[in-house]
Each structure stands twice: as C-alpha cells, then as structure tokens.
Amino acid sequence: MASSHRFSRIRDQPEASCKPRRTLTAARITAGMSAPQWEQVRMKPDLRSLEIFYWVAEFGSFRRAAARLNTSQPAVSQRIAALEADFGTPLIIRGPRKASLTPKGRELREFAERFLRLSDELAMAFAAPNSHSGVIRLGLAETLVHTWLPVFIERAHNLFPNVTLDIEVDVSSHMVPALVDGQVDLAFLIGPVQRPSILDFPLCSYPLAFVARPDLPLGPADARGLIPREAIARTAVITFPTETMPYQTVRDLLGQGGDVRPRLYSNSSLSSIVRMTLDGIGVSVIPPAVIGPHLEKGELVLLKTDMDLPRLSFVAAIQAGPDRALLEALARLAQEVAAEQDLR
C-alpha cells in the first residue's frame, strides 16, 4: 500500500521540554553507546525508515516488506543500512532464509510500532480526507462485483478522493496468502480468515442455490415437489473452483449414495458460470443474489431439492499492522454499504 497521509517529521519542541522525553524514550536503545554514537541517534530517523524497519521485522523478509510497501528490495536494504548507521548498532541479522532482530532491533521495533500507530491516528483525526493519497490494492471475490461493489467504490471515492483502488478479482483461497505476504492491502473474501496477523470485519452472507434454465431436461420432481439428487447428478453441475467451499460441498452432497457419478465443472469466473447456465450446459451452484435480473425475467429458476447448501459469508480483511487506520476506515465503509444492501 502506498502510504496514506503521514507526518514524516515531528517538529522539535524547545530543548527544556524535550530533554526528559528524549532521555526516557532513547535510554534503552542507546545504552552502552559511545558519545559519538549518541550524537548520531539525536538525528531522528524519518517515519518512512521506521515503517520499512517495522515491516522487515514483522515479516522477517526484505522481499515481503518491499511488496507490502510497494517499493523495491534494494530500497528496503538501503533504508535498513542507513538506520543501522544512524544508531551505530546492528538491528537486523540477515540470515539465509529469514531476517531476525538483534536485541536492539527488538527494542526499536516496539518504538517503531508506537510511532507508526500514533502517526496514523493523528493523520486520520486531523488531516482533511483529500490529503490521504496513494494506491490501495484491493483483492475481491467476484460475488461482490455483482452485488454492492459499485456503491462501495463510489462512496470510497467521495470520502477519499485522492486514494486509488487497484482491484484484483480472485478466489478467496488465493487472496489469503497474498494478504499475509503484503501483496494485497485490503481483501473482501469468504471468511473468517483465521490468521493471527489478520483482522476480519464481517460484511455479509449470501445463500447458495441450485440454478438452471426452466427448460433444462431434469425429469419430473418427486411427490414433495423436489428435484431428486440423482437427476442433478446425471447432468453437468457448474460451480466455483475445486479448492473452494461450494465445490467441495456440492461434490460431497452429490456423491452421497447412488450409482451416478456427478460431473462437476469448476470455473473461476462467476460471469462465465452464469453464461454457461443460461446456455443450458447444466445446473449451477451460485448465490441467487448475483442473478436477480435473470430470475425476474424467468430466464433462470431456483431448483428445489432436499440438499442443504451453506451460505457464503464474506469479510473485509486487513493486516493487523500499526499503520492500518485508512484500511480500517475502508473496511468499515464496506460494512456500512453491505448492511444497506441487505436492507433492500
């Protein structure tokens, strides 16, 4: 994520009021340093360098920190080297697979986290909305493209006009590692995301249903008016990719008993699934919320069966970093938009 509005420098206070605070906050890091080294520490590192250091410490990786901050790995290395020169002490141990912190590095991480959180909160509290700028990389489940995404984009632009959303549509199972690795800043996906480094904000949930063209030859319903499981299993069933919960649920339901082996077509494009269903290729398992106009026109119908399908529950997910105020504001905006759509 490109940085939101941040104050890169805190104005120095008069020496009399500043000296006790400097002694308290720097005492542990500077313990044992020589006088020339202490003079170096008095040249305060800029906030960007602390941000880079924090994410290298968090990930244990220069590469992942560079991806998270939308910069290059050499730039990250240069910033860390400059910090170590400023403090006159090693902060990071560069291992063959993972970077780890020295004792002084662990202490600095605490201060960096506090500085970043305070800077972020200060910017959100006092800066004008149009002072927040940059690119937010948004990972998105396609179901939400067909429901309330346009409303969210409009609201986000009105609230933060200088923030750009770089949107990538993907399946939820792919977005989770991208979010953890810092390649995505904010994700709207099937949740919850059970990772200690990720914060979830519940958004909405949609039921799944068996959907088909009204003239698809499935045979007669039973005495209860339900389409038998065997009738659906004999035709092609189109749904989400193999690693997703809908696919695995349908596979298990249609594979229970009987001699008919179901034909499951996985598809990562929801629009393509709807098109295939309209073309009469088979029965699809998708949320009815994404095909409202087709249902109203009678082009598609919901099939009644004795098979219970789960709901798709979506969350907004962000990393639990100290500089998350803007991302959290967007996540809560998504909650508001999703709640409004549910009331309609």
Q: What is the number of other CB atoms lying within 10 angstroms of the CB of residue 63?
A: 15
Residues 119-163: tens digit of each pLDDT: 877 777 776 667 778 889 999 999 999 999 999 999 999 999 999
Residue 296's pLDDT is what?
Answer: 95
Same domain assignment for residues 242 and 158: no
Same domain assignment for residues 245 and 271: yes
Task: Write the CATH number for 318.
Answer: 3.40.190.10
Instruction: State the amino acid at position 135 in one-letter form.
Output: V
Establish how many alpha carbons lie within 13 A of residue 296's alpha carbon, considering only the half-sphere containing its beta carbon: 5
Same domain assignment for residues 325 and 191: yes
Hey, what are 172's tokens?
């939820």
Is residue 322, in this structure, part of any structural domain at all? yes
Is residue 2, in this structure, part of any structural domain at all? no
Same domain assignment for residues 44 and 112: yes
Same domain assignment for residues 110 and 20: yes
Residue 343's pLDDT is what?
Answer: 57
Residues 47-83: tens digit of each pLDDT: 889 889 988 988 889 988 898 888 899 999 999 999 8
Residue closest to 146 by CA, chosen among 290, 285, 275: 290
Residue 182's pLDDT is what?
Answer: 82
Same domain assignment for residues 141 and 161: yes
Same domain assignment for residues 172 and 319: yes
Same domain assignment for residues 76 and 222: no
Q: In which domain, by residue range, is 280 found?
A: 209-309
Same domain assignment for residues 117 and 243: no
Question: Residue 195: CB partners within 8 Å, gap ≥ 6?
Answer: 176, 180
Residue 39 has pLDDT above 80, yes or no: no
5 pLDDT band (50/70/90 cuts)?
very low
Residue 9's pLDDT is what?
Answer: 27
Same domain assignment for residues 295 and 335: no
pTM: 0.72
Stretch 235-259: mean pLDDT: 86
Is residue 3, in this structure, part of any structural domain at all? no
Q: How many structural domains comprise the chain?
A: 3
Residue 64's pLDDT is what?
Answer: 86
Instruction: State the amino acid at position 321 in one-letter form.
Output: G
Residue 257's pLDDT is what?
Answer: 62
Q: What is the DSSP string of 255-283?
A: TSSSSPPPEEEE-S-HHHHHHHHHTTS-E
Q: Range with the lowest mean pLDDT among 44-48, 310-314, 323-327?
A: 44-48
> Percentage of the chain surpassing pLDDT 70?
85
Task: Write the CATH number for 76.
Answer: 1.10.10.10
Q: Cα–Cα distance between 26 and 224 in angstroms, integer?
A: 76
Q: Cα–Cα distance between 43 and 311 in angstroms, integer?
A: 56
